[in-house]
Each structure stands twice: as C-alpha cells, then as structure tokens.
Structure 1
Amino acid sequence: MARIFSWAAQDSERLTTVAGLRGSKGRHGAFAQVTADTAAEAAAAEAAGIEMIVCRARSVAAVRQGSQRLFVTAALGFAEAVTDEEILRTAFKALTDGADAVITARRLPIVSLLASEDIPVMGHLGFVPRKSTWVGSVRAFGKTADEAVELYHRFRRLEEAGAFAVEAELVPAPLMAEISKRTGLVTVSLGSGPGAEVMFLFTSDICGETDRVPRHARRYGDLVRLHRQIDEERRAALTAFRDDVRNDGFPAAAETADMAETALEEFVSRIGN
C-alpha cells in the first residue's frame, strides 16, 4: 500500500501509483484492471483484489465512494470534452474528484497538453472501437508487418508526447510482447495477450452481464441469468398485484388502518349527509 496525497490534497492510500506501475515494467500481469462506474462495482473490485479500474470521468466521485484505494483512471469522453480548455477542465475535475490518471484516444498534442500539467496520461492504441471505420471492421490491428511497424511507431510517438501508459486493444499477442519490451510505456492488455504489465477486462464481460462475450474476454459469472430471473420476478409480482386490484383482493384488512366505529359515527353526524 502506498501513501500519497491525492489531486485534492488529501492524505490517501493507493494499491499502486504511477511510480509503482512504472516500476513493474517487464513484469507481465503484475496488475489487473477492470471497469467500474458505481460505488458498488468499485467496492467489489477492491474486495476481489483488483488494483486498477477505469471509469467515465463523470463517475469518479461515485467510484471513490466505493473504494479509496484503487488506482482510478478516468476516461475523457469525446463529446463531453472537445476543446483544449474543456479537456483540461474535465481532466482536472476528474482528478480532484479522486482519479489518479486519465485516458484519452485523442490526438498527440492533447496528450502533451495534459502531460505538460504533470497529469498522468494513458493513451489508447491498437483497435480503437470509436475509430474502427479506419480499419474497416472489428479486428486485431498489427497482424501484417506493415501494420505492426506502423503500430510500433505510434507507441513511440505516444511515449514522446508524454504518456506514461497505453491501453493496447486487440494487438496480436506476439507483437504486443515485442513492443512492450521496446517501450517505456506501461502496457495495458485488452485482448492483446499476456505480454503486458496490466491485464484488462470489462467488468460486464467478466461477470457475464451480456449475452455475447467478445472473443478476447472470459466470462466468470452469469449475471444475465440473474437479471432475467429478477425481470421475471418483477413481472410476476406486478401481474399478481394488478389481478388482486381487479378482483378486490387488495387491499385487505392487514394493509389498511381502522378506526373506532363510535368515532366514525360521530364524524358522519358532525358533517351531515
């Protein structure tokens, strides 16, 4: 456990820090990272021994209610922060709410802008879902030698821009291992094999909250089944309530308040017919 001062100048403890992540360079799978946007999800991650989470910038305060110890990276949304000024304001708000770093897939000058303020910045390379039109489909990026060389140079430029880490998504595992040992960036693997310092999966995939799990993910739970059971129980309960109302079965004596008959008679007498 590391003692630090947060960006809000609060004496805090963290399961890891930027320095700790950098110190793990070369230790594959040294840390685990998941997603969280609620206090409950953050609390569950900490209880499970997870060290790192990613959340939306607007969710940092809620996440910190669930865990004060996780290393939190705030995702700067494309629509919420567009101009340089908005990006800086959003980043600093997330940090003062409790984030330890930010992640962005924006242009390199944005990375440099943030890094120039000593903000720990994580980039996003490989397959970037919101930019997938450029690669034409949902697929691994870097499977050809040309793509691999291009990707390697993107890693280098990202590091030169001032990022301390990079989320590498759907990069072929052998390529990820080679690039990871050639970059000073802390590498975070999302579907990019074991050759990175941080292993990352979405909580929704881990817990089985969707019917379809991506090829690179692994389902460890089955919350879909529980959600369906909850939906069925909800519909059954509401149907039973409506039936009772229709058939004069609700409310019954147990669900109503009574009064003395003499009091009721006095009430009627006093107000008249």
Structure 2
Amino acid sequence: MKRIYTYGGMPATRNLTVADIKAGKGKRKFVQTTAVNRTEAAAAQNAGIDHLSIVDHDLAEVRAGAPDTFTTAALMASDYETHQDILRAGIRAAAAGADAVYTLRSFKAVELLADEGLAVQGHLGLVPRLSTNIGGLRAYGRTADEALQLAEDLRRLEDAGAYAVELECVASEVIAELSPRTGLITHSIGSGDAADVIFLFQDDASGDTENAPRHAKAFADMAAARATLEAERMKGLTAYRAAVLDGSYPDGATSIAMKPGEHDKLREALDKRRPFHA
C-alpha cells in the first residue's frame, strides 16, 4: 500500500498511485470495474480489482466500502453545464478522495482540470451520450480514416493534459497500434486486450445484466442468485400471511407469558375496576 494525502489534505492509503499506473504502461494489465455502493466497492477491493470507476455522487459510499482502491470519479456531462461547474466538481471530488476524475467534455474542460493538478481521464471512440454524432451506437475505428481521426483526438487529449482515456468499442487492431504510441493510459471497454487497463462494468462481470452488451462477459450468475433470493423472500412473506390468517402465528413459542399466578391477579383486579367504557 502507498501512503498519500488526498487533494483535501487527508492522509490515506492506496493500492496504486497515478505514478504507479503510468510506470506500468505497456508492462502489465490493470483491471477496472464499477461500483455504486459500499457493498459493490468492498467486493471489488476484496477481489483485488485495481481500479474503480464511479459517479462522483457515489464517492462517499464507495470510499466506505473500498477505502484503499484507486478510484476515478466521473463528472457526468449533464450534471455540470459550464466549465466552472466542471472545475468545481472536479476539485470537490478530488478533495473527497477521488484519485482521478473523468469527463467526456471538451479538450478545454480537460485542460482546466489538469491545470489544477488533477489526474484527468477523457473518453474517445464510441461515446454513448454523443452517439448521435456518429450515426448511433456502433463500433468505432473500423476504417483507417476513422482510426487516424482517433489518433489525432488522442494527441489533442494528451496535449490538453489528460493522463488517461477510456476507449469504448474501438477495433482492437487500432488500440494495438495506438496504445504504444500515446503517453495516455488507455482503458479498453469493448476494445480488445491491447490497452493498459481492461474495464468491465460490475453488473456485466457478475452476470447481473439482463441485456448485456456484446463486449461483456459474465463470470458469475448474480441474476440467478438474485432470483433465488427473491423467491425465498416471497415464500417467507406468503407463509407468514397464511400463518396469521389461520391462527398458527403468533403461538406460545413466539409470545410472552405472565409470571405464574399473575394472570389470575390481573383478572381479579380488573373485575373490581369500573369498565373502561361507560
């Protein structure tokens, strides 16, 4: 574990630092997943996941479950309209314990964040929220011209001060060519195995997605386990209702009795009192 201070000045420990990740480029694979709550975060940390990708609003909850795991907080595009909004949000996230921040916004927005010393991750290739610009949800970089455009965008992103980039649904050959040619840490989600970081949503990895994307692979069957749990919940509630209606619950074993002789004393005393209702 590495000892650090957060941007907010709090001492902390981390499994990785930005410097560690940069030093590992081209030498090892880093594993990244998502988390939306402390349970998922703790599971990821306990499983040895290197890197968490989260939404900034979930940071406190995630840090409670994974206090030591390198975490990138996404500044969602629709939450922060202006560059100053993005900058404030980035500084708040870093101060609260994020190790890096993610934005899909402009190169200028990346530059603003990087100029304040923040580790910034951009997003290129298929950017789902901007997919209308490329004709909808589709693979990216399947032609040489599109791959060359991606190379130019990588250069611009690096020039803006980013340290990393998420590359979504890009042809794997393109990543194999471009990743060694850029100083950016490349994160592959559906873009093959040549990137520095391999990224898969936790729901997809654990088999808890109803209609998983093509690039996803389930390594467990959380959906089936969840269905079993829900069936047990329904079984319990149905039996509970039936027991109340047929008089078998509550019973002697689940009820409290007065001390011996006290019930008779109570009856005698109540018989001597005036009725509760006139």
User: TM-score interval w.r.t. the shorter chain?
Assistant: over 0.9
Q: Which residue of 2 aligns with 1:76?
A: 75
CA change 1:133–1:264 in 2 (3 A) is: farther
Deviates more, 1:10-19 or 1:221-230: 10-19
Among 244, 247, 261, the alignment partner of 2:263 is 261
Give the corresponding residue for 1:194.
Answer: 193
Corresponding residue number in structure 1 for 2:129? 130
Distance 1:126 1:258, change over 3 A: same
What SS is found at the alignment partner of 1:251? Answer: coil
Q: TM-score, normalised by structure 1?
A: 0.94
Query: 1:15 is matched by which residue type in structure 2?
Result: N
Aligned partners of 2:81, 2:246: CA distance in 1, in Å? Answer: 57
Q: What SS is found at the alignment partner of 2:181?
A: coil
1:153 corresponding residue in structure 2: 152
User: Is the CA contact (8 Å cut-off) linking 2:38 and 2:61 kept in structure 1?
Assistant: yes
Pairwise CA distance, 1:271: 4.3
Change (3 A) 1:141 1:268: farther
Measure how far apart 1:191 and its partner are: 1.1
- Unmatched tracts of structure 1, length 5 or more: none
2:240 equivalent to 1:236: no
1:171 is aligned to 2:166: no
Deviations 1:185-213 (A, max 9, x none): 11111111111111111111110011333
Deviations 1:71-112 (A, max 9, x none): 100011123222223222222221122110000101111111
Q: Does 2:24 align with 1:20? A: no
**Superposition RMSD on alpha carbons, in Å?**
1.6
1:270 and 2:269 equivalent? no
Contact 2:6–2:96 (CA under 8 A) maintained in structure 1: no
Q: Per the alignment, in what secondary structure is the counterpart of residue 40 of structure 1?
A: helix
Q: 1:263, CA displacement in angstroms?
A: 4.1
Q: CA deviation at 1:28?
A: 5.0
Secondary structure, in 3 states, of the residue corresponding to 2:273? helix
Q: SS of the residue aligned with 2:152? A: helix
Asked if residue 50 in structure 1 is aligned to residue 49 in structure 2, the reply is yes
> Does the C-alpha gap of structure 1 residues 248 and 125 become closer, same or farther in structure 2, counting only changes over 3 Å?
same
Which residues in structure 2 correspond to 1:246-257 (within 5 Å)?
Answer: 246-257=245-256
In structure 1, how many angstroms separate the alpha carbons of the residues matched to 2:54 and 2:108? 23
1:39 aligns with 2:38: yes
Alignment of 1:85-100 (within 5 A): 85-100=84-99
In structure 2, relative to structure 1, the CA distance for the partners of 1:271 and 1:160 (3 Å cut) is farther
Q: Secondary structure at the match of 1:155?
A: helix
TM-score, with normalisation over the residues of structure 2?
Answer: 0.92
Q: Which moved more, 1:262-271 or 1:50-59?
A: 262-271
Counterparts of 2:92 and 2:54, CA distance in 1: 14
- Name the SS for the 1:187 alignment partner: strand
Q: Which runs of 5+ in 2 are unaligned?
A: none
Deviation at 1:171, TM superposition (A): 0.7
Cα drift, residue 144 of structure 1 = 1.1
Identity %: 43
- Larger Rg: 1 or 2? 2
Matching of residues 105-120 of structure 1 within 5 Å: 105-120=104-119
Separation of aligned partners in 2, 1:178 and 1:271:
94
33-42 vs 239-248, which moves further: 239-248
Question: How many pairs were matched up?
Answer: 272
**Alpha-carbon distance between aligned partners in 2 of 1:271 and 1:20, rounded to the nearest angstrom:** 82
Distance 2:131 2:273 in 1: 77
